[in-house]
Amino acid sequence: MNLADEKCPNMRCDDDSTHSSRRRGLEYLASMLDADEQRTLPLPMPIELGANQNEAAIICEGKVEEKIISKALNVPVTCEGRRIRIYRPQLALLRRKFKTTTLYVFSPKIVA
């Protein structure tokens, strides 16, 4: 996660758009991970929102997302079906901690 070393940290998204991040957020993420985990963490972390927005899911590709979310929420979480299900109060907490390192993805129904 050498993005924190860049003057204006940004990353390219799947749709070729650019997503900018604050250095402080990247440094916070880096403090929770070892070097190998930093390389495997997908940024920005996608947060899938359902139609009613009472629940959300972190789209996860591996154990590093579980580690980050568990530490941030201070509760154990599990990735099931490539998603970590969270609820509105947890979403607010995550967005406060990871505002510029997450990205909303809207979905009519969250599939777990």
| pLDDT value for 7 | 57
Report the candidate in 55, 46, 52 with the shortest Cα–Cα distance to residue 88: 55
Residue among 63, 59, 36 nearest 107 (CA): 59
- The mean pLDDT value of the chain amounts to 82
**CB proximity list for 86: less than 8 A, separation 6 or greater:** 55, 56, 57, 58, 69, 73, 77, 94
- How would residue 11 be classed by pLDDT, with cut points 50, 70 and 90? low
**Range with lowest mean pLDDT among 11-15, 59-63, 66-70, 88-92:** 11-15
Closest to 58 measured CA to CA, from 41, 68, 45, 43? 45
Per-residue confidence (pLDDT) for residue 4, from 0 to 100: 47
pLDDT per position as a tens digit, 71-102: 999 999 999 999 999 988 999 999 999 888 88
- The vertex-3 CA angle with 31 and 10, nearest 5°, equals 130
Which sequence spans correspond to the domains of the chain? 2-106
